Amino acid sequence: MYAIPLGDDGAELRPLEPWQAEEFLAHMDRGREFIGQFIGLPDVVTDLESSRAYLRSYAEKAATDTGRIHGIRSDGSLVGGVLLRTMDVEQSTAEAGCWLEPSAAGRGLVTRAARVLIDWAVRERGIHRVEWRVSAGNAPSIAVARRLGMRRDGVLRENYLYRGERHDTEIWSVLAPEWQAGRPTS
């Protein structure tokens, strides 16, 4: 398996695969409350079987070229991840996302990891538009979108029912020409 360094601090990006379900579940358990503030991932990954099923769904997406999932590691431990939740090569669009456990917050890991994934999607898979959908209350994720050079396209008002409350979703995006103009070749 490959690892992509995310800087000089020992952080790296690696694919997440079904055989890592136990480690993925332990990671979710460590960050369940923090991660679950704005996204439903901790509500989906609740036991070993659901962890395995979630990672298997992304293995199938990778095999069909419709998505990817990678773990962010710090000092060898899984502390977060980035993904292409959807990827439509024919339409040349993708939706990127992220999560992070609290011990790793504030170090720029998600921004660095998302840059690698978006760069791959644009340069290697020919993706023209990468979206970042985020709860309007998730200031750290909105800050990542800004650091990635994305623009806010708009707000879907109260479109996301999560844990009994309706949330607004902000849509951010970057287009391939914008990305390529602002990013050196990897």
Q: What is the pLDDT of residues 117-146, one digit of tens each?
A: 999 999 999 999 999 999 999 999 999 999
Domain count, the chain: 1
> CA-to-CA distance for 47 and 111, rounded, in angstroms?
29
- Model pLDDT, residue 184: 46
Give the helix ranges, DSSP H, for 4-75: 21-35, 41-44, 48-63
pTM of the model: 0.93
Domain holding 157: CATH number?
A: 3.40.630.30
Full residue range of the structural domain in which residue 62 is found:
4-182
